[in-house]
C-alpha cells in the first residue's frame, strides 16, 4: 500500500494548506470543491502562503512553480478515481462530512485509502459508514498546515495496520512528525487544547481581564506562541464552537459546555480571521 497521489476535498483554510504540504513533498494533488470560485480562492491563498515561505527563504521561486504544477483542481467527484488517497477537509459538520465521504466511497479505486481531517468526530463512526472501513483513517493536520510540524494519525476500531503504515510513511515524507492516536472525540491535541480556549472565553466573559491581557498572560506565563483568544481567531470561532459541542454531546459532561460568549460571537458571524473579525478585528484583504 503506497500513496502516490492525493485528492483533497475542500479548498478552504485546511484543504488548501494540506494541498500545499502534499504538493511541496512531491505528491500529485487533486483539489476538489463545489465550484470554481472556491477553488480559485483556495489556490490564491496557497500561492500567497508559498510567497511567504519564499520571503522567509524556506523555498525559492522555482520550487514554488514546481509545487503549483503538481496541483490540479476539479469539481467532479468522479475524477478522484485516479488518486491513491483522499483526504476530506470540509467544514466541521458531521452531516456534511458523511455526505461527502459517501460520494467519495462510490468513486475511488478499490485500493485507495480514505481519510478525514476532522478535528473532533469519531473516526470509527465515519469509517463504519464506508464500504472498506479497514482503509479508512483520520489524518489531522494543524492550522496553518504548512507551518505546523504535527500530524495526528487516528485509528478507527476497524482501521488496518497496513493503512496506518502507509499514512505514517506519507506523513514522514511530508516532513511532518506523526503521532498515532485511538479514535475518541478530539483525539489528543484538541481534547486538551479546546477546553483551554473555551475557558479563555469564560475568563473574558466574566470581565477578569481584557483579551490582550489574557493572551499576554498565556504567552508570557506559559510560553505559548500566541494566546488562546488569538488562536481561536486563527482556528475559526465556528470550528471551536463545533468542537466543544461535539465534546458536550459525546462525553455528556458539563465541563465541556461552550462559553456563552463564544456562542454569541459565532451567532454574530464574528468567526475570526477568515471573516475579518472575531475576538480581535483584522484588516480584510
Please identify every residue annotated as catalytic.
119, 140, 152, 190
Question: What's the min distance (Å) between Cβ of 106 and ligand CAA?
Answer: 27
The yes or no reply on residue 185 touching ligand CAA (CB under 6 A) is no
The yes or no reply on residue 67 touching ligand CAA (CB under 6 A) is no
Nearer CB in complex with ligand CAA: 1/189: 189
The yes or no reply on residue 247 touching ligand CAA (CB under 6 A) is no
Question: What's the min distance (Å) between Cβ of 145 and ligand CAA?
Answer: 8
Choosing from 15, 127, 138, 146, the residue that interacts with ligand CAA (CB under 6 A) is 146
Choosing from 192, 208, 226, 281, the residue that interacts with ligand CAA (CB under 6 A) is 226
Choosing from 144, 195, 217, 276, the residue that interacts with ligand CAA (CB under 6 A) is 144
| Residue 27: strand, helix, or coil | coil
Cell of 263: 456562542
Question: What's the min distance (Å) between Cβ of 43 and ligand CAA?
Answer: 14
d(CA 279, CA 173): 37
The yes or no reply on residue 143 touching ligand CAA (CB under 6 A) is yes
d(CA 220, CA 154): 32
Alpha-helical runs (H) found in 129-256: 161-173, 189-205, 211-222, 228-235, 237-251
Choosing from 38, 43, 53, 154, the residue that interacts with ligand CAA (CB under 6 A) is 53
* Cβ pair 93, 242 in contact under 8 A: yes
Sheet holding 113-116, edge to edge: 71-74, 28-32, 5-9, 85-88, 113-116, 136-141, 150-155, 177-182
Question: What's the min distance (Å) between Cβ of 197 and ligand CAA?
Answer: 9
Nearer CB in complex with ligand CAA: 183/190: 190
Nearer CB in complex with ligand CAA: 167/246: 246
| Residue 152: strand, helix, or coil | strand
The yes or no reply on residue 27 touching ligand CAA (CB under 6 A) is no
Nearer CB in complex with ligand CAA: 95/149: 149
Cα 227 off chain centre by: 20
The yes or no reply on residue 121 touching ligand CAA (CB under 6 A) is no
In the chain the first and final C-alpha atoms are separated, in Å, by 43
Nearer CB in complex with ligand CAA: 67/119: 119
The yes or no reply on residue 168 touching ligand CAA (CB under 6 A) is no
**Cell 458531521 sits on residue:** 94
Choosing from 1, 107, 179, 234, the residue that interacts with ligand CAA (CB under 6 A) is 234
Nearer CB in complex with ligand CAA: 84/119: 119
Alpha-helical runs (H) found in the chain: 13-24, 36-55, 61-69, 94-107, 123-128, 161-173, 189-205, 211-222, 228-235, 237-251, 260-267
Q: Please spell the DSSP secondary structure of 199-224, one letter per residue.
A: HHHHHHHTTSS-HHHHHHHHHHHH--
The residues binding ligand CAA (CB under 6 A) are 49, 52-53, 119, 142-144, 146-148, 190, 193, 225-226, 231, 234-235, 239
Amino acid at each position: 500500500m503506497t500513496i502516490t497521489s492525493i485528492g483533497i476535498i475542500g479548498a478552504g483554510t485546511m484543504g488548501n494548506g494540506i494541498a500545499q504540504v502534499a504538493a511541496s513533498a512531491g505528491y500529485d494533488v487533486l483539489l476538489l470543491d463545489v465550484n470554481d470560485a472556491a477553488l480559485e480562492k483556495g489556490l490564491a491563498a496557497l500561492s500567497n502562503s508559498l510567497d511567504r515561505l519564499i520571503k522567509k527563504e524556506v523555498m525559492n521561486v522555482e520550487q514554488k512553480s514546481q509545487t503549483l504544477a503538481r496541483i490540479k483542481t476539479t469539481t467532479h467527484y468522479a475524477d478522484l478515481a485516479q488518486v491513491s488517497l483522499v483526504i476530506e477537509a470540509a467544514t466541521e459538520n458531521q452531516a456534511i462530512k458523511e455526505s461527502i465521504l459517501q460520494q467519495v466511497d462510490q468513486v475511488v479505486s478499490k485500493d485507495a485509502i480514505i481519510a478525514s481531517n476532522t478535528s473532533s468526530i469519531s473516526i470509527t463512526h465515519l469509517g463504519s459508514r464506508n464500504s472498506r472501513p479497514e482503509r479508512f483513517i483520520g489524518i489531522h493536520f494543524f492550522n496553518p498546515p504548512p507551518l505546523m510540524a504535527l500530524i495526528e494519525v487516528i485509528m478507527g476500531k476497524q482501521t488496518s495496520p497496513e493503512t496506518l503504515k502507509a499514512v505514517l510513511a506519507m506523513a514522514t515524507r511530508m516532513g511532518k512528525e506523526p503521532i498515532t492516536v485511538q479514535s475518541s472525540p478530539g483525539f489528543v491535541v484538541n481534547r486538551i487544547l479546546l477546553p483551554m480556549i473555551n475557558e479563555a472565553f469564560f475568563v473574558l466573559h466574566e470581565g477578569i481581564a481584557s483579551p490582550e491581557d489574557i493572551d499576554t498572560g498565556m504567552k508570557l506565563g506559559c510560553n505559548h506562541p500566541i494566546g488562546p483568544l488569538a488562536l481561536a481567531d486563527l482556528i475559526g470561532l465556528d470550528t471551536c464552537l463545533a468542537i466543544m459541542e461535539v465534546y458536550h454531546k459525546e462525553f455528556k459532561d458539563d465541563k465541556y459546555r461552550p462559553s456563552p460568549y463564544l456562542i454569541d460571537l459565532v451567532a454574530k458571524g464574528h468567526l475570526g480571521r477568515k471573516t475579518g473579525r472575531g475576538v480581535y478585528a483584522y484588516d480584510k484583504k
